[in-house]
């Protein structure tokens, strides 16, 4: 079966990250196609990923499915996953430009369901962004890349108060309370994923990082912190509907205790629209 790591043939590279690469592979015996992520856990850096342990026990239609975990050699781990044949929200955006409000409603509904599942299982993703949301040709959207995710009991314990760990994940999608590391771990860890979803959806709608004008990207950490923590709420294009504006505002509430939770957002009219459109 797919339990045999050595019967997997590499077809091409699907992506490369800081700690490894993802390949499209074919299983020799069944000819089935999978994605294989190979992670280097070198002893010379502080990086320790719980990705394999986390993925191994997840089973949701809104989270990328794991079919096996291997240790091809010491210090290396490989995750065999279902192959998502339409890329990521990031690659689709780069090929086709911004998304419509209605496609984003369907996306929002699915990502919320994925986050609901994770949060109910005490897992905080910590790196929600377009390139970590995988898509299939029938527009199913699944959460992937648990490289910096945490099991919530572990947050704030000694092993986890390491600054290096805290600041992993992509800064542009980080909530004000995570950028201000003093308040991270203060009891609203799940709210960080909701913020990242809000930035992701608004970025895919307006076509650029929403806290800055179209032609500008934050050039350093301080500029990002200033605009995200203290800047004004990004303005919406005039054609944006009331439902969309309201949903995004509920995600991008600066104060984490006031930000809507995933369950609250699932009953928001915009998420309900996404649910109906997906049927």
* CB neighbour list of residue 250: distance below 8 Å, 6 or more residues apart: 198, 259, 260, 264, 265, 268
Q: Any bridge partners for residue 88, and if so which?
A: 134
Q: Which of 4, 90, 122, 127 is catalytic?
A: 127
Cα–Cα distance measured from residue 102 to residue 58, given in angstroms and rounded to the nearest whole number: 29
The reply to whether 132 sits near Mg ion by the rule CB under 5 A is yes
Cα distances from 245 to residues 55, 85, 109, 128, 141, in angstroms, run 33, 31, 16, 20, 22
- Applying CB under 6 A, among 83, 184, 190, 270 the residue interacting with ligand ATP is 83
The reply to whether 172 sits near ligand ATP by the rule CB under 6 A is no
Contacting ligand ATP within 25-54 (CB under 6 A): 35, 37
What is the token pair recorded at 164? 């290096």
R_g of the chain, CA atoms, integer Å: 19
Q: What burial letters (b/e) apply to 26-64, b meaning 16+ CB within 10 Å?
A: bbeeeeeebbbbbbebeeeeebebebbebbeebebebbb
The interface partner of residue 193, options being Mg ion, ligand ATP, none and the CB cut-off 5 to 8 Å by kind, is none
Determine the interface stretch with Mg ion among 91-99, 100-108, 126-134, 263-271 (rule: CB under 5 A).
126-134
Min dist CB 246 to ligand ATP, Å, is 30
Determine the interface stretch with ligand ATP among 98-106, 141-149, 151-159, 189-197 (rule: CB under 6 A).
141-149
State the number of binding residues for ligand ATP (CB under 6 A): 21
Determine the interface stretch with ligand ATP among 130-138, 214-222, 234-242, 258-266 (rule: CB under 6 A).
130-138
The reply to whether 108 sits near ligand ATP by the rule CB under 6 A is no
Q: Residue 199, Cβ neighbours under 10 Å: how many?
A: 25
Cα–Cα distance measured from residue 253 to residue 233, given in angstroms and rounded to the nearest whole number: 9
- Applying CB under 6 A, among 132, 149, 196, 200 the residue interacting with ligand ATP is 132
* Cβ pair 165, 236 in contact under 8 A: no
Active site residue 85: no
Binding mask 87-106 for ligand ATP (x = CB under 6 A): -x------------------
Nearest-CB residue for ligand ATP: 17
Cα–Cα distance measured from residue 38 to residue 40, given in angstroms and rounded to the nearest whole number: 7
- Applying CB under 6 A, among 19, 77, 125, 178 the residue interacting with ligand ATP is 19
Cα–Cα distance measured from residue 67 to residue 82, given in angstroms and rounded to the nearest whole number: 7
Where in the sequence numbering do the catalytic residues fall?
127
Chain positions contacting ligand ATP, by CB under 6 A? 14-15, 17-20, 22, 35, 37, 64, 81-84, 88, 131-132, 134, 144-145, 147
């Amino acid at each position: 079966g797919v339990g045999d790591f050595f019967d997997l043939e590499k077809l091409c590279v699907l992506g490369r990250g800081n700690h490894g690469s993802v390949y499209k592979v074919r299983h020799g015996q069944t000819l089935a196609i999978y994605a294989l992520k190979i992670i280097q856990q070198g002893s010379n850096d502080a990086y320790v990923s719980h990705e394999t342990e986390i993925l191994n026990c997840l089973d949701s239609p809104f989270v990328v499915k794991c079919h096996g975990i291997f240790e091809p050699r010491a210090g290396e781990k490989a995750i065999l996953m279902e192959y998502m044949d339409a890329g990521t929200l990031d690659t689709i955006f780069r090929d086709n430009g911004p998304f419509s409000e209605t496609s984003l409603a369907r996306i929002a509904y699915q990502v919320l369901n994925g986050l609901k599942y994770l949060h109910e299982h005490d897992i905080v993703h910590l790196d929600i962004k377009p390139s970590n949301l995988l898509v299939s040709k029938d527009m199913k959207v699944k959460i992937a890349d648990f490289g910096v995710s945490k099991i919530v009991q572990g947050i704030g314990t000694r092993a986890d108060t390491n600054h290096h760990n805290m600041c992993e994940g992509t800064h542009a999608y980080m909530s004000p309370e995570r950028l201000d590391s003093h308040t991270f771990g203060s009891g609203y860890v799940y709210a960080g994923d909701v913020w990242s979803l809000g930035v992701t959806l608004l970025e895919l709608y307006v076509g650029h990082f929403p806290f800055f004008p179209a032609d500008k990207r934050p050039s350093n950490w301080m500029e990002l912190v200033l605009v995200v923590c203290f800047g004004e709420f990004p303005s919406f294009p005039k054609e944006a509907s009331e439902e969309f504006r309201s949903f995004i505002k509920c995600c991008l509430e600066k104060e984490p205790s006031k930000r809507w939770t995933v369950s609250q957002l699932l009953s928001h009219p915009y998420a309900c629209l996404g649910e109906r459109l997906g049927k």
